[in-house]
Structure 1
Amino acid sequence: MKWNLRKFLVFGITLSSVLVMTACGSDSKNDKQSTSSDGSTEVTLWVTTDSKKFYTKVLKDFEKDNSNIKVKVVETEDAKAQENVKKDPSSAADVFALPHDQLGQLVDSGVIQEIPKEYADKIKDEQSETALEGASYKDNVYAFPYGIESQVLYYNKKLLNEDQVKTYEDITKNATFGANLKVVDAYKIAPLFMSVGDKLFGDNGEQVDGTNWNNAAGVSVLQWIADQKDNTGFVNVGDDYIAQFENKKIAAFESGPWDKEKATEAVGKENLGIAVYPKMNIGGNEVQQKAFLGVKLYAVNQAPANGDAKKIAADYKLASYLSSEAVQKAQLEDKSRNIVPTNMNVQKSDYLKNDELANAVVTMSEPDYSVVMPKIPEMTNFWTASAAVLSDTYNGSIKPDQYQEKLDQLVKDISGNKE
């Protein structure tokens, strides 16, 4: 595997930009020890679980070309980044991994700041538009993207062919599709509303009162969900979906890259097909089913530096390096990571194009196939409220004549409006 990590390190940051940024709201005194006995700057990096070996490897070139920076790698659960960092920012990591939907709350609470212009411009030049959207909040860039994540369609090639998985109707007519509608996971099912053209928190996902699911298109989504109970090609599955895939009770299901290995074991490598989401008929209209798109980020927490511009500059240099083309190429090709890149050059590489899953995820990242998950704090209202309405519709607790009323209330609940 050939990748030039050191080439990236030519790009740096002007110290003046950091000084301007840290002059506001930071104590000029540095009471915390940020340098080691040999005079080097110490940076603590929180990485996701089971990835320390990979980062130890790719950081060798970084430390070789930045001998004045020492990186301490600590594994944590990145899904809890917001909780762990906000608990005590001054004791948390200098640089940490996080899913992009936590960005809004971290920015609004003052934990992370807008990144220096040099780095923001580099992200705009090199990363995909959806990655930039995930790293931005209120028109400013706050973090460094390094991966994208979307669900895809897994199917058994013995039961379905490439043409049959292009539409949901063909899948369920020729075989079976499995999903959990009894106990809905809103991450998986709620994007049906965006598939019919509705908005969640407006066009950019940042408008608190911008959800419009309580319209005719939204009602058609609830009707579609209710109709699946009588669809002989639909099978409601719970946590047993991989077992059902293995025993051929279901021929297709939708999930993320995390299930590829299990799906392969279930039907065999030669029988596993991977495709983008199918088109489907909702309310008499053929629409492209959409998924939520997640963006993996690295963010800088300035609190531990306590105004030390040298340390903050080192933090940003490290975060940018972890988002670089070289590291993204390395993590794509490393089977222990296998993360789909945000860097446009890596997305065009032959290696990615020859990887069925990665290629499908990159296609799914396009606006026709996915919506970047909103990152505003009100998303905390969304998950439980929407899942309850969707589950109750399938289970029959909500009747057709109640759809409009329930959607009106859901829109209020999502926005945090208690009236």
Structure 2
Amino acid sequence: MGFKKRLAAALLLAAVAFLTFGIARSGMQVSEKQEEKFPAFTGEKDTLYLWYTDEALTSYLTSAAVTYNENHDVRIVPVLQSGPEYLEQINAASLSGEELPDLYILSHDSLEKAYLAGLAEEVRLRERTSLRDTYRDTGLSAATYQGKVIGYPFYFETSALLYNKTYLEDLAESRLQAEADIAAGEEAQQQADAGNVTQDTAEETPSFSDEEIEARVQELIPKTLEDMKTFADSYDAPEAVEGVFKWDVTDIFYNYFFIGNAIEMGGAAGDDISQIDIYNLNAIRNMRAYEELNQFFSIDTSEISYESVIHEFMEGRQVFTVATSDVVGTLEQAEEDGSFPYEYGIALLPDIDADRETKPLSMTQCVVVNGYGTHQEDANDFAFFLTAGYNESLYARSGKVSAARDADYGNEALSMFAEAYDNSVAMPKMIETSNFWVLLERVFSQVWNGTDANDALKELSEQIMQQVTGREYEEVYIEDVQEETDVEYLDEEYYTEEAQKEGQAEE
């Protein structure tokens, strides 16, 4: 690092320390207010501070702290922090030793930074409890660094397929009715052929059970992108519908499933730089499938956002979209106030085709025990309580979805998001590749707008590998998949024509 960079870093740390002092002072004020409001925060007990940045957690954390404080010899004080340099604030407070956070909530992709700075320790449970029996596998992998679980999986975010269930139920019933009509017609014809002619009676419209309709709805939900295209081609849409499938193609979180099962970024725990594979045949093919959807659904990237897509869905203008779990709360509220007059459902995202599966991206928020803290045992105990012992009210109080294995979501949609989470790829935590998501988002944008997928992925892989190895890196070019496909198709036509000529000659 050059002198200018060192000087800039030193000045930045000094500024962060000054900022942290101010925040610590404000944190003290928050703590004092909490002590006045909640008697459980007072008394001659050791105090443990829990830092967090998401205000939506305040109700849940306060309730959990009060409950825990009433039955333990320590008091937990949640402190809401702000600012973009959250981990730097934790580091500065830990080094100063003044009201440092004994534990804090952190996104899993920052765990490597926290561990290398001494701000995270391997989790230690008081009781004989199996972490694998307590937390979902995806959460444990996300919380693991170099073979050690260094955070308690708290809650997650991932994406799934959101669909208008009302539309699909109407379609299911109409198809069941059409099948019943055909069956009735065939039976009548058989009776007529057998000479069993009876007097015409008024036709009865058959009624279908909820189970029959639901079973047909599940059949109608596209399992692959090819199914989605087939659905779009054959769907006789209601007047309000403007499109069958639309999602925010500008955000990597909603695009990642196309490539999630085709590339490797750091292995299962996302922390191994020797396990990186971005440029490969499957990745190229999947990105081509992504590009083809632009030709099929024609989504304008200049006029789209996640919020606008969800708004269109709520108005009944879209049948399917890609959504994150926050949509459940949005739709439930809209159902209550009457602004969403439909039923909805959640399903796993479609695969590319029968041979190529997809995997969505996921983020896991973890409760981390500070390596600088002096109450490690108590901090571990409360972290486990917060994430696995008190989590039944997590969604109701915060809108967050628990990463605990036995969580009772009490909501079918949330259970489907949990299933999607189990099938997801956690964002890697390697410092060397921290800009990967920005670069990959750019690749998706380029491919959507016509850049060759092969070239874009090759360039991305070379840049990431250069960052990891510290030297120039060049990938061996993979023969163009599209050209190979075209050649095979032309060869098939050629041999078919030759066979026809030979057949005519023999005649």
Under TM normalisation by the shorter chain, which class is it?
0.7 to 0.9
Distance 1:408 1:131, change over 3 A: closer
Pick closer, same or farther for the CA change 1:153–1:100 going to 2, 3 Å.
Answer: same
1:44 counterpart (30, 46, 49): 49
Q: Is contact 2:154-2:402 (8 Å) kept? A: yes
Specify which of 272, 280, 294 is matched with residue 352 of structure 2.
280
Residue 207 of structure 2 corresponds to residue 153 of structure 1:
no
Counterpart of 2:51 in 1: which secondary structure? strand
**In structure 2, what residue type is equivalent to 1:329?**
E
* Paired letter, 2:252: A
**1:341 aligned residue:** 402
Do 1:192 and 1:221's aligned partners in 2 also have CA atoms closer than 8 Å? yes
* Counterparts of 1:166 and 1:96, CA distance in 2: 41
Q: Percent identity?
A: 17
Q: Which moved more, 1:125-134 or 1:408-417?
A: 408-417
Matches within 5 A, 1:18-417: 39-47=44-52, 48-66=54-72, 68-76=73-81, 81-89=86-94, 90-91=97-98, 92-116=100-124, 118=126, 122-160=130-168, 161-167=217-223, 168-175=225-232, 176-181=244-249, 183=250, 185-196=251-262, 198-232=263-297, 237-239=304-306, 240-264=308-332, 265=334, 268=340, 270-281=342-353, 286-303=355-372, 305=373, 308=374, 311-325=375-389, 327-332=390-395, 335-346=396-407, 349=408, 352=409, 354-366=410-422, 369-396=423-450, 398-399=451-452, 402-403=455-456, 405-412=458-465, 415=468, 417=470
Counterparts of 1:120 and 1:298, CA distance in 2 = 19
Matched pairs, number: 362
Q: Which has the higher contact order (CA 8 A, sep 6+)?
A: 1
Partner AA of 1:342 in structure 2: A
Amino acid at match of 2:106: L
TM-score, length basis structure 2: 0.64
For the 8 Å contact 1:93–1:301, the answer to whether it is kept is yes
- Give, in whole Å, the separation in 1 of the partners of 2:43 and 2:453: 71
Structure 1: gaps of 5 or more residues: 1-35
Larger Rg: 2
Amino acid at match of 1:188: Y
Rounded Cα–Cα distance in structure 1 between residues aligned with 2:434 and 2:469: 9
Larger helix percent: 2
Q: How many angstroms does 1:107 deviate by?
A: 0.7
SS, match of residue 166 in structure 1: coil
**In 2 relative to 1, CA 409–269 (structure 1 residues): closer, same or farther, beyond 3 Å?**
farther
Q: CA deviation at 1:98?
A: 1.6
CA contact 1:242–1:263 (8 Å) conserved in 2: no
Give the ranges of 4+ consecutive aligned residues of structure 1 lying more than 6 Å apart after TM superposition. none
- Residue 231 of structure 1: CA displacement? 0.7
d(CA) in 2 for partners of 1:169, 1:59? 50
Question: Are 2:246 and 2:321, in contact at CA under 8 Å, matched by a contact in 1?
Answer: yes
Cα distance change on mapping 1:407 and 1:314 into 2, 3 Å? closer
Q: What is the aligned partner in structure 1 of residue 239 from structure 2?
A: none
Report the CA distance shift for 1:174/1:77 in structure 2 as closer, same or farther (over 3 A): farther
Which stretch of structure 1 is more off in the superposition, 215-224 or 38-47? Answer: 38-47
**CA-to-partner distance for each residue in 1:372-404, whole Å, 9 max, x for gaps?**
2222223412111111111111112x2356346
| Counterpart amino acid of residue 327 in structure 2 | D
Equivalent position SS for 2:228: helix
Aligned to 1:20: none
Aligned residue number for residue 207 of structure 2: none
Deviations 1:123-146 (A, max 9, x none): 234222222212211101211122
CA–CA distance in 2 between the matches of 1:79 and 1:120? Answer: 38
Distance in 2, Cα, partners of 1:94 & 1:300: 6
Q: TM-score if structure 1 supplies the norm length?
A: 0.76
Per the alignment, do residues 221 and 77 of structure 1 end up closer, same or farther by CA in structure 2, a change over 3 Å counting? farther
Q: C-alpha separation between the residues in 2 aligned to 1:166 and 1:155?
A: 10
For residues 61 and 192 of structure 1, what CA distance do their matches in structure 2 show? 44
Q: Which runs of 5+ in 2 are unaligned?
A: 1-40, 169-216, 233-243, 473-507
Residue-by-residue CA offset, 1:290-342 (whole Å, 9 max, x unaligned):
11222221111243x4xx4xx333322222221233x112324xx23243333
Distance 1:178 1:79 in 2: 32
State the one-letter code of the partner of 1:244.
E
Structure 1 pair 388–410 and aligned structure 2 pair: CA distance change class (3 A):
farther
Kindly provide the CA deviation profile for residues 103-156 of structure 1, in whole angstroms up to 9, marking residues without a partner as x. Answer: 111112221122336479542342222222122111012111222322121111
Deviation, 1:215, is 1.2
Cα separation, 1, equivalents of 2:258 and 2:467:
16
Deviates more, 1:204-213 or 1:405-414: 405-414
Give 2:189's aligned residue: none
Inter-partner Cα distance in structure 1 for 2:460 and 2:42: 61
